[in-house]
């Protein structure tokens, strides 16, 4: 095992609440590393509804999930958080000195004084297509995420799904691929209305194809996927030539290894003390949708409140001999310096 990264705080989950946790810790001079199972920051906001409007963020009448994440990233820039993406925390072990040794699925290790679990409803995993033989082509011709769009240019692409991800990529590749076929099990979509309208216009112009049905089989030659069988709602089977199959069936949250960390779990959520949002293990806190307590509401703004209280509790945990003073970003020269802003003068 390589030497672990030593830090004051590790945040598990880089969604909106995990990002705001960085800010609240930063104000208290606590540096943080963030770990997330997804390949980019933003959690559910980016994976599930990046371009859909959010109306209940205080003082922001409306913003998209993408805009919210972008603003949170801008807000935490002064604290220079370190991100470790596309890996899942697999183990947490308390050491004799009170710190936590954290191991990930990519064999990275951290030695942290505190841990903040902001993992939403667990680690997100893509919902897969249950079809015999398809596993042999995953990450070769079958993909559940697009990491490098250029590899699909000029290809015969089949895209499955009816949400924003499926429609967004279908529109993106419409003029870049050899051809694009969109498959959805019904002629009703959960994507943004403007995306659906644009997709239908492209289909009418013959620039892409829409099939209503489900993939029920595949054909291969020389270890290469060549065709898929699509069964329509009328029972008719149509064979579609394919170079690359992109599947966007959504994400499935899984509690995963969290269940084995020795924390009090209630209905697949982590029980916390609402005075400090500490778990049953001192030094480990849980904020956002992953926690549960009487009156819990799964709202982003609730998670922001929890992150603030958890940060103050962690500061007291890290330095029990020190009095933690409440300071205001409006008036505190110390916080102005930390944020890199000029103090405001009031007449």
Q: Where are the domains of the chain?
A: 5-124+252-339, 129-249
- The DSSP string of 10-31 is EEE--SHHHHHHHHHHHHTT--
Distance CA(129)–CA(183), nearest Å, equals 13
Q: Do domains 5-124+252-339 and 129-249 have the same CATH topology?
A: yes
Per-residue pLDDT tens for 106-136?
999 999 999 999 987 665 667 888 898 999 9
- The DSSP string of 298-309 is --HHHHHHHHHH
Per-residue pLDDT tens for 175-215?
999 999 999 999 999 888 999 999 999 999 999 999 999 99
Q: What is the average pLDDT across 296-320?
A: 96
Looking at residue 138, what DSSP letter applies? B
pLDDT at 306 over 50: yes
Residue 64 contacts residue 54 (beta carbons within 8 Å): yes
Per-residue pLDDT tens for 52-99?
789 999 999 999 989 999 999 999 999 999 999 999 999 999 999 999
Q: What's the pLDDT score for residue 26?
A: 97
Q: Which of 296, 258, 2, 246 is nearest to 143 (CA)?
A: 246
Per-residue pLDDT tens for 131-180?
989 999 999 999 988 878 899 999 999 999 998 889 999 999 999 999 99
Q: What's the pLDDT score for residue 148?
A: 84
Q: Which of 33, 177, 169, 184 is nearest to 113 (CA)?
A: 33
Q: Which of 69, 49, 40 is nearest to 57 (CA)?
A: 69
Per-residue pLDDT tens for 233-276?
999 999 999 999 999 987 766 666 787 888 999 888 899 999 99
Both tokens assigned to 158:
């089949």
Close Cβ partners of 128 (under 8 Å, ≥ 6 residues apart): 144, 247, 249
pLDDT at 346 over 50: no
Q: What's the pLDDT score for residue 254?
A: 66
Q: What's the pLDDT score for residue 119?
A: 85
Residue that is written with structure tokens 């890996």 in the block: 87
The burial class, CB within 10 Å (0-12 / 13-18 / 19+), for 93 is exposed
Per-residue pLDDT tens for 44-56?
788 767 777 899 9
Both tokens assigned to 304:
């922001």
Both tokens assigned to 308:
């603030």
pLDDT at 347 over 60: no
Distance CA(43)–CA(298), nearest Å, equals 14
Domain range 5-124+252-339, its CATH number among 3.10.20.600, 3.50.50.60, 3.30.420.40, 3.40.309.10: 3.50.50.60
CATH tag, 129-249:
3.50.50.60
Q: Which of 285, 133, 288 is nearest to 217 (CA)?
A: 133
SS3 of residue 201 by DSSP: helix
Q: What's the pLDDT score for residue 210?
A: 97
Residue that is written with structure tokens 């609730």 in the block: 302
């Amino acid at each position: 095992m390589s030497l672990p990264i030593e830090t004051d705080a590790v945040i598990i989950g880089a969604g909106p609440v995990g990002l705001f946790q960085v800010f609240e810790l930063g104000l208290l001079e606590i540096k943080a590393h963030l770990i997330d199972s997804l390949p980019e920051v933003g959690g559910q906001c980016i994976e599930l509804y990046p371009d859909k409007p959010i109306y209940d963020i205080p003082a922001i009448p409306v913003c998209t999930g993408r805009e919210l994440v972008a603003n949170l990233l801008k807000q935490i820039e002064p604290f220079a958080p370190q991100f470790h993406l596309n890996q899942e925390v697999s183990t947490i072990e308390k050491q004799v000195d009170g710190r936590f040794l954290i191991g990930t699925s990519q064999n990275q290790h951290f030695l942290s004084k505190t841990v903040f679990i902001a993992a939403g409803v667990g680690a997100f995993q893509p919902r897969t297509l249950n079809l015999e033989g398809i596993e042999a082509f995953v990450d070769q011709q079958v993909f559940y995420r697009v990491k490098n769009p250029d590899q699909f240019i000029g290809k015969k692409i089949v895209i499955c799904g009816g949400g924003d991800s499926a429609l967004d990529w279908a529109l993106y590749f419409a003029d870049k691929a050899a051809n694009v076929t969109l498959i959805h099990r019904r002629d009703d979509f959960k994507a943004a209305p403007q995306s659906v309208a644009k997709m239908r216009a492209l289909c009418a112009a013959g620039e892409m194809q829409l099939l209503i049905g489900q993939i029920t089989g595949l054909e291969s030659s020389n270890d290469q996927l060549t065709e898929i069988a699509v069964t329509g709602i009328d029972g008719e089977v149509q064979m579609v030539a394919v170079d690359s199959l992109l599947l966007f069936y959504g994400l499935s949250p899984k509690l995963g290894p969290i269940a084995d960390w020795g924390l009090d779990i209630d209905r697949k959520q982590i029980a916390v003390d609402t005075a400090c949002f500490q778990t049953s293990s001192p030094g480990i806190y849980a904020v956002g949708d992953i926690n549960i307590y009487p009156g819990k509401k799964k709202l982003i703004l609730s998670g922001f409140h929890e992150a603030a209280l958890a940060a103050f509790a962690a500061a007291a945990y890290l330095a029990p001999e020190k009095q933690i003073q409440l300071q205001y970003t409006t008036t505190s020269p110390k916080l102005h310096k930390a944020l890199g802003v000029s103090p405001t003068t009031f007449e």
